[in-house]
Copies of this chain bind each other. A is one copy, B any other.
Amino acid sequence: MKNYFSSDFKLGILGGGQLGRMILTETQKFDIYTSILESNKNAPCADICNNFVIGDLLDFDAVYNFGKTVDVLTIEIENVNIDALDKLEEEGLTIYPKPKNLRTIQSKANQKNFYFDHKIPTAPFSHFAYLEELVICLETEVINFPFVWKAARFGYDGNGVKVVRNFADLESLPNVECITEQLIPFKNELAVIVARNSDGETKTYPVVEMEFHPEANQVEYVICPARIKKSVAKKAQEVALKVVNDLDFVGLLAVEMFQTETNEILVNEVAPRPHNSGHYSIEASYTNQFEQHIRSILNLPLGNTESKVAGIMVNLVGEEGFSGDVFYKNLNDILKIDGVTPHIYGKKETRPFRKMGHVTIVNKDIDKARKVAQKVKETIRVISK
C-alpha cells in the first residue's frame, strides 16, 4: 500500500484557484504534501500550499516540467495542456482524471458526440468549425431560431453560452468553433457528482437543484437535496453514474442535467473535478467533495456521500459597479444566523460578477434553510472599499 500521509509522496495540482484552495484544506487534514502549478502569483492557493510553482497551464513545457516533480497529478481546472499530460502518462506518471477524459470534456463537441455514441440522453446538437458556418446554415434554414449557442472550447461559468433568438443575437459572438443545441424547455436544472477510484469503486452524491432568479435567469441557490420526486432523482443519479462508467472515469465528475417538462433527464455538460454544485458538501455531507476528490484520485476507499443536514449554497459574486480592493459588506449580519458559513476565496480584488466566495446554509429542515438562504442573499454585498 502506498503511504500518502506525512510521507515523501507529492501530489501535484494543475491550477491554484478556489477549487484548489478547498482541496488544500483536505490535503492539510491528511498531511499530504501538495505542489501547485498556476499562472497567477496572487491566486487563492499561493500562500497556503507546500510548494507553489508559477507557470502557464496551457504551455507544454510548464505542465510537463511540473509533472516530472510530482508522484500523482490532478487538476482543479480542465483547461490545461493535454499533450503534456499525454507525454507524462506515457512516461509512467499517474494522472487523474485521465488525459483522454480531459480531451473529451475540454471540447463540448466531443462531449456531445460521446453522449450520442453511448446513448446518454442529451439535447440534439449541431457542430460548426466557425460561427460563419453557422450563419450560412441559418441563412439556408438548415438550422432554425431559437437555439442555444455554445463555444466548443474554454467555456467557463456560463461564459461561452448564449440563447440565440435572431440574427442580431449573433453579433456579439466570437467567430470560433461552436455547437448549437435545440432549446428544450425544462422544469429544473439538476446536478449529480459521482466519485470513482481506479479500483472502480463508485459513490454518487444526492441530486442538487439550481434555483434560478425568476426574472434574471441567474442561479441563485444550489439546494441539496433537490426538491424533486424520488423517481426523477433516481433517474438522474443513474444517468450520471452511466456517464462516469462509460468514460471509464477516475476522479470526481459533476454531471449537469436538465429535467424536462416530461420528466426526462438530459445531460447538459460535465466537469471533471470538484464543482460549484458540490460546495454545500463541506458543511452538509459526511464526506465533502474535496476530500472525496483526494480519495478517488489516490485510490483510497470512497467516503459516505449522504448528508447530515440539508444544505444550500449561495455564490458570493462581485457586485456590478464595484472594482478594486474587496469589502464584504454586512458579513457580520449573516454570521449572526445559525448554520451560516461564509467561504472567502482569498481574491483581494473584486470585479463585477467575479466569483469571490460562497456561503453555505445548513439546517435539519430544508424549508428553513431556504428562508435563511434568501436572507443571506439579500443581506451580504461584495463591493469595494
Contact = CB atoms under 8 A, between A and B. Distances in A.
Interface of A: 1, 3, 5-7, 21, 24-25, 28-31, 47-50, 286-287, 291, 295, 300-301, 303-304, 306, 308-309, 325-328, 331-332, 335-336, 338-339, 341-348, 362, 364, 385
Contact of A6 (B7, B300, B308, B346): B346
A6 B347 contact: yes
Tell me how many chains of this kind the complex includes. 2
B31 A346 contact: yes
Given A29-B342, A308-B308, A308-B364, 4 more contacts: A6-B344, A7-B325, A29-B344, A301-B335
A25 to B, nearest CB: 6
30 contacts: A1-B332, A3-B327, A3-B328, A3-B385, A5-B326, A5-B331, A6-B326, A6-B328, A6-B344, A6-B347, A24-B28, A28-B346, A29-B341, A29-B343, A47-B49, A47-B50, A48-B48, A48-B49, A48-B50, A286-B338, A286-B339, A287-B341, A300-B332, A301-B332, A303-B335, A303-B338, A304-B338, A306-B338, A308-B309, A308-B362
Given A1-B332, A3-B327, A345 B304 contact: no
A303 B360 CA distance: 13
A7 to B, nearest CB: 8
Contacts of A335: 295, 300-301, 303
Nearest to A348: B6
Given A31-B344, A345-B31, A304 B339 contact: yes
Contact of A48 (B28, B291, B345): B28
Contacts of A362: 286, 308
